[in-house]
């Protein structure tokens, strides 16, 4: 068997070229923003366009005010009172300039607040739509992916980016606004002296390159340490959660878990501290270079004013423009560097979206047989899990006939659960094939196949939902059909559990949320079995369904199962031979193969492994 394809291979290093190549993610990211809300996106861009020209307009108004004040102060016979100035008409133009500057200040504040509101709403929409897309894509992937540790790391990074990169949206929009403002400021400076712009850019380049370098280092640290970060989150949840509280207290695990968390978090801190110190040291040096460039230009502007080439208004406008331009360019260069770094993070999100499933429906699927007429046939089936050396099952051949209840028995590792996963096409065989009514399982629509199969695994989920919803997950589209939910509960005997709850079917189950009621293992199991009946499937599969039930409850559940599975194709997996003896036929698995087949009495008569295990179990009750 060839080695599995590595769908999550990390980059070996974040080279300068790789950082800028990651900018290819910006366009698809902006498409995500547009898809989240086209109206809010347009509104944000229009608002920022308006805000972009306000700083230059306000600074120019200030220049006009100063020049007008200087002009008026040079009058030979000026008025001596404020009223006199007003009545003379000399300050009419000055008043218009001041009013314009005031209006620009008010407009800037209003636009800023409206832009903040629009961006906040758009960010919420983007977080929501990205998370939904991630969930929808994850639902299409294979079980193989979720059982792979590298894929879990990739999924964790994608989860973080689906909500953690929302600042990038505001950053990109801010860059558009600041870029336009820079153009307006630069145009004004170019009129006076083009060399001022060149001096400013040269002075700021070192700071830009430094930020790019340290942003890339932060990304690589986050990427490489994803497994440790997942462990950190796991340890934190394990140390303080309702699911683990009993064992943590009984086994005295708190000190162990706390120390493990401390070790991991201190390791993260040390790595982050090293980068932060280097960033602070070199950032200070690069900032000093930029400041030196600014003051060189400032001295030139002062000198030109003293020689009479520039007016005081020009001095105010140029010095203010240069200062604002320096701040804007420095912010833009830093922001561009940060954008390149965040684009690397977006690789994690879009890389996840590129993972595709291997188990798919055919282009023209066969209709699923209703009812099943012949049944399933395993033809020399072999399968081993990705990356595993040993075969889980091999040369496995048997029939599961229509409307038959088949029991699977065998020691741990015999391949019982693997067989169920193959039957539901959670995995596909590596060797051989499985047929249904004479046709390969791969010929049928995947959703129809799984929709016709009701499986309850031993490690079933305990949902922190209402009792009704815990049953309804078996056929979630029927969630509002209370009659079907109640019928399923009665079939599994879960109705007795629910009748004892304060709010019955509306009762929240589990201690995670307020007013939740915790159930015993056996009570949870009855709810889980109800899901199989809720599904109303053609094929029922119960994998160790009564492991947490007492002997009386187990007997009752299997009696009901035998009655209710009449006319259906069913598989029962259990270690308890008192349960499997009621099956139509029993398959004994060993080492991934069928070792024996027959009824309970036939297998006892063969004096093989089944008889040996039965006697060992029976001896425990004597």
- Which of 40-49, 214-223, 275-284 is least confident? 214-223
308 pLDDT higher than 50: yes
Are 145 and 151 in contact, with CB atoms under 8 Å apart? yes
Q: What's residue 404's pLDDT?
A: 86
In a domain, 9, yes or no: no
Domain at 579, CATH number: 3.40.50.300
Residue 415 has pLDDT above 60, yes or no: yes
The answer to whether residue 611 sits within a structural domain is: yes
pLDDT, one tens digit per residue, over 24-75 is: 777 888 888 888 888 998 998 888 888 888 887 887 788 787 877 777 777 7
pLDDT digits (tens, 9 = 90+) for 583-621: 888 888 887 788 888 888 888 888 777 787 777 766 655
pLDDT at 334: 65
pLDDT band, very low/low/confident/very high, at 405 (cuts 50, 70, 90): confident
Among 536, 562, 584, the domain-final residue is: 536
- Domain co-membership, 523 together with 554: no
Picking from 85-94, 198-207, 283-292, 382-391, which range would have the lowest pLDDT averaged per residue?
198-207
- What's the whole-number mean pLDDT along residues 517-528? 83
Q: Is residue 11 part of a domain?
A: no
**Do 97 and 207 belong together in one domain?**
yes
Instruction: Please tell me the total count of domains within the chain.
Output: 3
Q: Are residues 349 and 492 located together in one domain of the fold?
A: no
Mean pLDDT of all residues in 261-283? 76
Tokens of 218: 């932060």
The tokens describing 276, both together, are 């932060």
Judgement on whether residues 549 and 532 belong to the same structural domain of the protein: no
CA 139 to chain centroid:
12
3-state secondary structure 99-159: HHHHHHHHHHHHHHHHHHHHHHHHHHHHHHHHHHHHHHHHHHCCHHHHCCHHHHHHHHHHH
- Same domain flag for 197 and 261: yes
Same-domain status, 273 and 285 = yes
Of all residues in the chain, the percent with pLDDT exceeding 90 is: 2
Do 468 and 506 meet the contact criterion of CB atoms below 8 Å apart? Answer: yes
Of the given ranges (141-155, 421-435, 542-556), which has the lowest mean pLDDT?
Answer: 542-556
Of 489, 516, 536, the residue that ends a domain is 536
Summarised one tens digit per residue, pLDDT across range 466-516 is 889 989 888 888 888 999 999 989 888 888 889 988 889 899 888 777 788
Average the pLDDT over 174-202 and give the result: 69
Q: What strand order describes the sheet that includes 439-440?
A: 393-401, 375-383, 431-436, 439-440
Mean of per-residue pLDDT scores for the chain? 77
* Average pLDDT of the segment spanning 445-454: 85
pLDDT top residue among 569 and 513: 569
Determine the structural domain holding residue 302 and report its residue range. Answer: 21-353
For residue 9, the model assigns a pLDDT of 42
| Closest to 325 measured CA to CA, from 521, 143, 185 | 185
- Asked if residue 137 belongs to a domain, the reply is yes
Mean pLDDT in residue range 568-574: 83
Q: What is the pLDDT of residue 39?
A: 92
495/620 same-domain check: no
Tens-place pLDDT, residues 450-468: 888 888 777 777 888 888 9
208-227 mean pLDDT: 65
Domain match, 162 and 39 both: yes
- Residues 317, 443, single domain; the answer is no
3-class DSSP assignment, residue 53: helix
Final residue before a domain boundary, out of 520, 536, 552:
536
pLDDT greater at residue 130 or residue 217: 130
Residues 543, 516 share a domain = no
φ, ψ of residue 235 in degrees (nearest 5): -65, -40
Q: Are residues 468 and 426 part of one domain? A: no
Answer yes or no: is pLDDT of 1 > 60. no
% of the chain with per-residue pLDDT over 70: 73
Do 417 and 469 lie in a common domain? Answer: no
For residue 161, the model assigns a pLDDT of 67
The whole-number pLDDT of residue 426 equals 86
Local structure of 423: helix, strand or coil: helix
Per-residue pLDDT at 557 exceeds 70: no
């Amino acid at each position: 068997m060839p080695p599995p394809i590595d769908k999550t291979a990390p980059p070996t290093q974040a080279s300068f070229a790789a950082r800028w190549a990651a900018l290819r993610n910006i366009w698809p990211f902006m498409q995500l923003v547009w898809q989240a809300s086209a109206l809010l996106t347009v509104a944000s861009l229009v608002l920022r366009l308006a805000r972009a020209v306000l700083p230059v307009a306000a600074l120019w108004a200030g220049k006009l005010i100063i020049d007008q004040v200087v002009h008026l102060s040079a009058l030979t016979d000026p008025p001596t009172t404020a009223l006199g100035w007003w009545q003379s008409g000399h300050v009419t133009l000055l008043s218009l300039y001041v009013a314009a500057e005031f209006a620009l200040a008010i407009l800037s504040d209003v636009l800023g607040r409206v832009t903040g509101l629009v961006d906040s709403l758009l960010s919420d929409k983007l977080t929501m739509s990205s998370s939904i897309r991630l969930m929808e894509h994850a639902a299409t992937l294979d079980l193989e992916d979720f059982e792979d540790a590298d894929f879990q790391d990739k999924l964790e990074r994608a989860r973080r980016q689906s909500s953690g990169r929302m600042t990038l949206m505001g950053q990109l929009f801010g860059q558009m606004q600041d870029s336009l403002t820079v153009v307006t400021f630069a145009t004004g400076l170019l009129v006076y002296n083009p060399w001022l712009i060149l001096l400013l850019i040269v002075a700021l380049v070192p700071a830009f390159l430094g930020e790019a370098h340290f942003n890339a280092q932060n990304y690589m640290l986050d990427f490489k340490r994803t497994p440790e970060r997942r462990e950190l989150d796991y340890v934190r949840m394990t140390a303080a959660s309702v699911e683990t509280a009993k064992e943590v207290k009984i086994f005295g695990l708190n000190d162990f878990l706390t120390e493990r968390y401390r070790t991991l978090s201190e390791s993260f801190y040390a790595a982050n501290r090293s980068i932060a110190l280097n960033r602070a040291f070199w950032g200070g040096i690069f900032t000093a270079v930029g400041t030196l460039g600014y003051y060189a230009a400032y001295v030139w502007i002062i000198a030109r004013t003293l020689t009479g080439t520039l007016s005081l208004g020009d001095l105010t406008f140029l010095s203010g423009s240069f200062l604002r331009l320096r701040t804007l360019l420095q912010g833009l260069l830093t922001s561009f560097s940060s954008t390149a770094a965040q684009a690397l993070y977006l690789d994690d999100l879009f890389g996840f979206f590129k993972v595709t499933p291997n188990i798919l429906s055919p282009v023209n699927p066969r209709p699923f047989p209703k009812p099943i007429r012949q049944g399933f046939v395993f033809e020399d089936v072999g399968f081993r899990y990705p990356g595993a050396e040993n075969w889980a099952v091999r040369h496995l051949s048997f029939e599961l006939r229509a409307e038959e209840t088949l029991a699977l028995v065998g020691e741990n590792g015999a391949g019982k659960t693997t067989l169920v996963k193959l039957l539901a096409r959670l995995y596909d065989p590596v060797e051989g094939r499985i047929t249904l009514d004479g046709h390969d399982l791969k010929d049928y629509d995947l959703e129809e196949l799984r929709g016709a199969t009701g499986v309850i695994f031993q490690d079933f989920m305990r949902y922190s939902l209402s009792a009704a919803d815990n049953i309804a997950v078996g056929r979630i589209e029927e969630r509002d059909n209370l009659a079907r939910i109640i019928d399923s509960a009665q079939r599994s005997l879960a109705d007795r559990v629910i009748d004892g709850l304060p709010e019955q079917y509306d009762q929240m189950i589990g201690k995670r949320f307020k007013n939740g009621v915790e159930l015993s293992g056996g009570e949870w199991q009855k709810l889980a079995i109800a899901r199989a009946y809720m599904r109303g499937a053609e094929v029922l599969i119960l994998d160790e369904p009564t492991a947490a039930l007492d002997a009386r409850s187990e007997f009752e559940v299997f009696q009901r199962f035998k009655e209710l599975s009449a006319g259906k194709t069913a598989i029962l997996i259990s270690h308890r031979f008192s349960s499997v003896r009621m099956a139509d036929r029993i398959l004994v698995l060993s080492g991934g193969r069928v070792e024996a087949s027959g009824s309970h009495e036939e297998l006892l008569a063969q004096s093989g492994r089944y008889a040996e295990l039965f006697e060992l179990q029976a001896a425990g009750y004597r």
